[in-house]
Amino acid sequence: MSQPPAGRSRPGFPARLDAGGGPAAPRRAPAPMPASRLAPSGVGMDSAAVRAAMVRRLQAGGISHPAVVAAMLAVERHRFVDTALAPQAYEDTSLPIGLGQTISKPSVVARMIELICPRGAAPLGRVLEVGTGCGYQAAVLSRVAREVYSIERLRGLHDKARENLRPLRLPNVHLLFGDGMLGFAQGAPYAAIIAAAGGEDVPAAWVDQLAVGGRLVAPAVTSAGRQHLVVVDKTPTGIVRTELEAVHFVPLKSGIA
């Protein structure tokens, strides 16, 4: 199991990985607020009925974990896309968010988060998200995990996610600007790691930072030469890798920009 260096506290919000800057002072993140407290109301794109229809489609497609269903219902996806794309926000489609990146389909977000959620009512512990994007998936994760570290390599998207998430006041979400291929060792070990970009394989750093008993879900190119959803379970006796359905994610890249 990967452990943080002795005597080093995990960073608090907002944590940053800018050159020359250390993490902010540590703080304890409270458990996420129940979805019932955050369920929006109103008309049009603000209507809970619009998201309820989306969630019904997700359930018809096989999503069943109660915490995931509640989180997908609570988070207003239209607030994470450009105004011109808001009418498409609750369709099951990926949408551009700038800088050549996209917000994943609701069905893909729900599927990947359900894969890392434990069975039963117990919430996830600490989660690392690689690829913050516009912040939508981090917002959904905040409803199912005690603590979320989300790292983005593109400064423009990191800043956009901060703006999108600021009104939600999610104290258990920590946004990081840095190279996601390296993970974030200061927050390890993680109960789960989830990636929004796919490479030739799952980086070893991610597996090292996964707790024993933890699960990693990421797109990766498999032996068939196509990108598939890959699940990595870190057990007391070793690593178990499972390849699931074909997917199409943006490429996983190193460095910052």
Distance CA 64, CA 52 (A): 14
Tell me how far apart the alpha carbons of residues 167 and 34 are, in angstroms, rounded to a whole number: 17
Q: Which of 36, 104, 150, 254 is catalytic?
A: 104
104 assigned to active site: yes
By annotation, the residues acting in catalysis are 104
